[in-house]
Chains A and B, each alone.
Chain A
Amino acid sequence: MSDEERREADELRRDGALEPEPEMGLHPAAAGAGASLASGEAAAGYFGETLMIEQQSLSGEVWRRFRRDKFAMIGLGAIIVIILLAVFAPWIAPHNPLTQYNDGITMQGMPVGSSAKFPLGTDTLGRDMLSRILYGARVSLFIGIVANGFALLLGVVFGLSAGYFKGGTETLIMRMTDVMMAFPILLLAIALSTTVFSKGGVWLLVVVITIVYWTPMTRVIHGEVLSIREKEFVDAARLTGATNRRILFRHILPHLVAPIIVYTSLGIATTIVFEATLSYIGVGVQPPTPSWGQMISMGQDYYYTAPQLVIYPGLAIVITVLAFNLVGDGLRDAFDPQQRRR
């Protein structure tokens, strides 16, 4: 037992997770029957078997471990704050993000620094930076969560089918992901958003990101299903006469919850960066709708004279992405405590 393990066991005991008392055992009648079966010799074995830990759900256990991870908790706190800010942006924001204020711009046409009226200053068109960043959070989070949701849905459907049914289905789906992965993702996204989806708009960006990001999810799910379908409990289920649908949804899918949650939280971070990148090069969210990537893009010409134009939206991206990554890593550790020690 390593120190860490011992510490963990101590903590569990303090939390009441490990019950030192054998709190429930074999049915007395059964134990009696067993003893007579094994002609008495096994009685000791029976009681040796009765030590039990208190009933605990998986989610409870995961939450207990997650809670101990300081960085993950900070990340979770940050995400909650960011989501609240985004949701309540219309009430929190001091100004309309689209209004160009006359006093938001100097006589030389330069943005103003932070003041009582504009806490984070203004941008090159005299719009309030704080309000724009708050509204930008709505765009980033919406795209991050929704596009990831769709990518996840496709990934689960394709990954499950490929991993479970194997054969032609698997070849078709997995070679499709190979082709998608061989494509330069950024070029593909630029091509899609300048041609087919040239109208712009947040929803079209969601579609583009989904098309690009369903492949990694499919691969992750496919790999997990391949290992789970060979487990003996799947054989046992098949032997009881369970249908494929039952095996897929009752036996395999519940074991995918951990990777799905972990990869979704990590994927949201990646997607937010991707959205910022697309908006930065001008093929993502179209002005005047505020988006962090687009704000950086507009501010970069004023980098020397008004660095806040780049710094604040940049910080917003860094903090959000970092928060999701911390939570994702924390969840991965919480779901699989073995992995961390290795």
Chain B
Amino acid sequence: MSTNGETLVTIEDLRVHFPITSGIVFQRKVGAVYAVDGIDLEIKQGETLGLVGESGCGKSTTGRAILQLIRPTTGRVLYSGADLAHLSGSALRKQRRRMQMIFQDPYASLNGRMTVGDIVGEPLLVHKMGDRAQRKAKVRELLETVGINPNTLNRYPHEFSGGQRQRIGIARALAVEPNFIVCDEPISALDVSIRAQIINLLQQLQREFGLTYLFIAHDLSVVRHISDRVAVMYLGRIVELAENSVLYEAPMHPYTQALLSAVPIPDPAAEELRRPVVLTGDVPSPVEPPRGCHFHTRCPAAREGLCDVEDPQLKIVRPGHWAACHLITGDDYPHIRAGENDVAVVDDVAEVDGTAETPAGEGGETA
């Protein structure tokens, strides 16, 4: 996992809005789902960038929009200089050789009507790499690399287990020798016993081929294990981005603090003392995201007239540590802890000016 600091992928103000239409012949737009709502990100050569967040926060959409599987509404995706968002047709197909994806569901991501050999060999065929014999040799080599018996290339996906299918999916992604791979929850659909193997395989392949990963997951401990840097998403935006150790040890954004308090600690003594913070209210609908900071409706530290009005920018709060929160100034930031009934409250109220508002939400509780 050597990072030479060079940027491989730059994402600028990426937005994906799915229109909600009505009408049969003449469809008119009546609204939009703001799935991804302005993301800036730099992915460095050779690193693993973890992307975490709750279900529905737009992390998978972000991954797909980067690879142009979903065309972004606005924004740029620069891959070694070229803007993918404005490429199409054969120009885009050529760029696709350099970036691939590993999918969540190994049962849906392999075409059940094609043999394993055809699945792994298709990218080679599409890009006209080598002749028939060379391609076959390459497919065998790829299968061996991911730990699948190369003699099984005439078999169909349904004859393999979930873990083996995921390995076949990885072999397909490697076929075109990409630099950059988006791993979209690659282990979420697998048995717990298989997860470690796939994670280890991914790490081994990264060392071997110098791959760069965008690792999307909702499992915080897995992300901690595999990532160099971690970005936290909430409702279509990145709220915090930092080195792995920094983010997990000293999170600054109130949402990250609440999120991390929900992670169990594998030490009985410490786990005994852990008090998960409970945020009040539900995640707002991405159809009508709140004005200002998207998190202000649930943030115990939110300040009226500031957080519900102005969009916080993702800015450097410490070297290599970005956060999008109005209340982080210098070394001061809102400390979130579990108060009465585990409901989140702000500690050190004085530090943040003494005017912090705690939303009086007695309604639904979500962890």
Contacts and interface: CB of A to CB of B under 8 A. Distances in A.
Contacts of B150: 27
Interface in A27-59: 27, 29-31, 33-34, 37-38, 41-42, 44-46, 48-49, 51-53, 55-58
A232 B105 contact: yes
Contacts of B147: 26-27, 30-31, 33-34
A154 B219 CA distance: 48
A13 interface: no
A175 B25 contact: yes
A14 interface: no
A241 interface: yes
Given A38-B197, A241-B96, A235 B103 contact: yes
Nearest to A46: B197
Interface stretch (B77-85, B155-163, B317-325): B155-163
Interface string A245-262: 010001100110000000
The bracket for how many chain A residues form the interface is 35 or more
Interface in A131-177: 171, 175
A287 interface: no
A interface SS class: helix
Q: Which of A42, A53, A243, A254 has the most CB of B within 10 A?
A: A42
A116 interface: no
A182 interface: no
Contacts of A107: none
Nearest to B152: A24
Given A236-B103, A239-B100, A241-B96, A52 B200 contact: no
Nearest to B155: A55
Given A33-B147, A55-B156, A236 B109 contact: yes
Contacts of B196: 38, 41-42, 45
B126 interface: yes
Interface in A211-256: 231-233, 235-243, 246, 250-251, 254-255
Interface string A279-311: 000000000000000000000000000000000
A119 interface: no
B294 interface: no
Contact of B126 (A233, A246, A255): A246
Contact of B201 (A25, A37, A231): A37
A338 to B, nearest CB: 14
Interface of B: 24-25, 64, 67, 69, 93-94, 96-97, 99-101, 103-105, 108-114, 122-123, 126-127, 143-144, 146-152, 154-156, 159-161, 163-164, 169, 172, 175-176, 193-194, 196-197, 200-201, 204
